[in-house]
Amino acid sequence: MALLRYEADRIPVAIMTTYFAADLIVFATAKSWWVPVLWFVLGVFPKGWVSAFGHHHQHVHFFRKTWMNRLFEVGLALQTGIVTNTWVLHHVLGHHVNYLDQTKDESRWARDDGSSMGVAEYTFITTLTAYPRAWVVGRRYPKARRAMVLGALVVVALLAVLFSIDAYNALWVYLLPMVATLTATAWVTYYHHAGYSTESHFTGCTNITDPIYNLLTGNLGFHTAHHYRQNVHWSKLPELHAQIADKIPPANFVDAGAPVVQIRALLALFRPRRAASPAE
């Protein structure tokens, strides 16, 4: 019997597992002060992409066996700062249910007076309240909340062991990236929803159809489709998007930003140039 629920998850699981192993190797072998610092800097964008697929995992678990999902989530938490079931509670059972009501949304971008927060304000509040708001949602889902608490205890215990072995490397390879990735995740979500109409699923978020962006994020650019049917596996979102694209206002389609623009520019450097014709 296959371990994964969807074959499309093979590559992201392999990449995320390899990245976890790379973190461990750097932690165990780095002797110079600058090596873990450089690793932290180089990991800013890749760990954001890990977080994107971690988000997909929280919607549709990668593995068929619960214990395998829980084990995988320990590695995810040490990369993204998001422990087992935190996003299930905060995001799946919270934000997705309430995002069209800014008085309830766990990732709300509107202030109490209805005005829009700025990105810095939103990022600060959403990062600091991620776990408290997940805890509150967990009142309605005590089993999921117990799993979150257990997952947090396991991660804290592992961090304690890592710091006891090498505090400096543990700080740069694990703790700081966890905080940075959680913060970056909050920052990115601001641009998914802030300022958009909460009248319906079709007006409530942005959409990015850029193929590079969707390759790196697991089709997260098809965000309306994701909210329209949140239990659809990430690999099926382009199909769903095609079915509903005509209902999405043009203003809800936006361009991909960094680092996609830079990646495309880099790829252009290696693209063969067309030879000029005699007439040119």
Q: What is the mean predicted confidence (pLDDT) over 154-175?
A: 98
Q: DSSP readout, 30-89?
A: --STHHHHHHHHHTHHHHHHHHHHHHHHHHS-SBSSHHHHHHHHHHHHHHHS--TTHHII
pLDDT of residue 273: 66
Residues 186 and 210 in one domain: no
SS3 content of the chain, % helix, strand, coil (to 5): 65, 0, 30
pLDDT of residue 274: 63
Domain-ending residue, one of 165, 195, 225: 195
Which residues, in sequence order, are bridge partners of residue 110? 116
Residues 60 and 173 in one domain: yes
Residue 186 maps to a domain? yes
pLDDT of residue 264: 87
Q: What is the mean predicted confidence (pLDDT) over 131-152?
A: 98
Residues 218 and 187 in one domain: no
- 39-85 residue pLDDT tens: 999 999 999 999 999 999 999 999 999 999 999 999 999 999 999 99
Q: What is the mean predicted confidence (pLDDT) over 153-178?
A: 98
Residues 160 and 201 in one domain: no
pLDDT of residue 62: 97
Beta strands in 65-183 (DSSP E): none
**Angle, alpha carbons 170-171-172 (nearest 5°):** 95
Neighbouring CB atoms inside 10 A of 218's CB total: 23
Q: From 213, 194, 211, select the one nearest 252 (Cα to Cα).
A: 194
Asked whether residue 279 carries a pLDDT value surpassing 60, the answer given is no
pLDDT of residue 91: 96
pLDDT of residue 258: 83
The one-letter amino acid code at 91 reads H
pTM of the model: 0.92
Asked whether residue 148 carries a pLDDT value surpassing 80, the answer given is yes
Residue with tokens 């043009």: 250
Domain-ending residue, one of 162, 195, 228: 195
Residues 33 and 91 in one domain: yes
- 233-278 residue pLDDT tens: 999 999 999 999 999 999 999 999 888 988 988 888 887 766 555 5
Domain count, the chain: 2
pLDDT of residue 272: 73
Asked whether residue 212 carries a pLDDT value surpassing 80, the answer given is yes
Residue 280 maps to a domain? no
Residue 232 maps to a domain? yes
Domain-ending residue, one of 148, 168, 195: 195
Residue 217 maps to a domain? yes
Q: What is the mean predicted confidence (pLDDT) over 35-40?
A: 98
Looking at every residue in the chain, the average pLDDT score rounds to: 95
Residue 278 maps to a domain? no
Residues 82 and 177 in one domain: yes
Provide the residue range defining the domain that includes 27.
Answer: 7-195
pLDDT of residue 177: 97
**Which DSSP category does 179 fall into?**
H
pLDDT of residue 253: 97
Asked whether residue 206 carries a pLDDT value surpassing 70, the answer given is yes
Task: Please name the residues in contact with 190: beta carbons below 8 A apart, sequence gap of 6 or more.
Answer: 109, 117, 119, 122, 123, 126
Residues 178 and 85 in one domain: yes
